[in-house]
Amino acid sequence: MQIDREEFLRYLGWKGQETDNTFLQKLDEAAKQCLALTVPRSVVRKFELTDSLELRGTGFFLEGSDICEHLKGCREIYLMAATVGIGVERELMRHSQKSANAALLFDTAASCAVESYCDDVCDDLQRDNPFLLTARFSCGYGDFPLTAQKDICKLLRTDSQIGLCCDESFLLTPRKSVTAVVGISRIPYVPEKAPARCMHKCSACKNAGCAFRKTE
């Protein structure tokens, strides 16, 4: 897990504007502080996928045309959940009470941290899998409903496994956490022909005009 400066700037909406050393130093300080407080934890479980997109034997169906298209050809999937911990949450609350600017930088650093950690989890899954994995697809992407987040947390027992809860509004606590679906394709994974990292989440999103879209 790391917080790349270019990613940090992208999350802030940077479009190539000139930045001074003082600002970059503040970014680096926020990143360093955030990483020092992270306690990354994750849980992953494999499921067989039926033709109707039920996770076989669970009664839970993946709903929406976008997730259906994303998982085309997949007969198995991983459900994953990841968090960088409650310490980051508490520090974000502390910043929010003192300085809006500091809170923004720390919040952005924490977002970068959890996404980087999710990349690491997906990379580990790919290394252990003979088939190519899809990009992770989270609740709220396209027409995949946010309500599915509660079912994913229940199936993964995230509360007891990693201290991650989903409230009645289908939001996660700690906030800097992610749930996602990763498809297992039938395409053999050949490391020398595959990307160095698991496909990033932007490749699963249809919003080509998004200001925060990753192009690499």
Indicate whether 183 belongs to any domain: yes
CATH code for the domain in which residue 37 is found: 3.40.109.40
pLDDT per position as a tens digit, 62-104: 999 999 999 999 999 999 999 999 999 999 999 999 899 999 9
Q: What percent of the chain has pLDDT over 90?
A: 82
pLDDT per position as a tens digit, 169-192: 999 999 999 999 999 999 998 876
Indicate whether 214 belongs to any domain: no
Edge-first strand order for the sheet with 177-188 is: 41-48, 76-83, 177-188, 131-133
Q: What is the pTM of this model?
A: 0.87
d(CA 43, CA 136): 14
- β-partners of residue 133 are 184
d(CA 142, CA 62): 13
Residue range of the domain that includes 70: 5-204
Indicate whether 209 belongs to any domain: no
Indicate whether 216 belongs to any domain: no
Domain count, the chain: 1
Indicate whether 48 belongs to any domain: yes
pLDDT per position as a tens digit, 134-169: 999 999 999 999 999 999 999 999 999 999 999 999
Indicate whether 212 belongs to any domain: no
Which tokens in the block code for residue 90?
């508490």
Identify whether 174 is preceded by a cis peptide bond (ω within 30 of 0).
Answer: yes
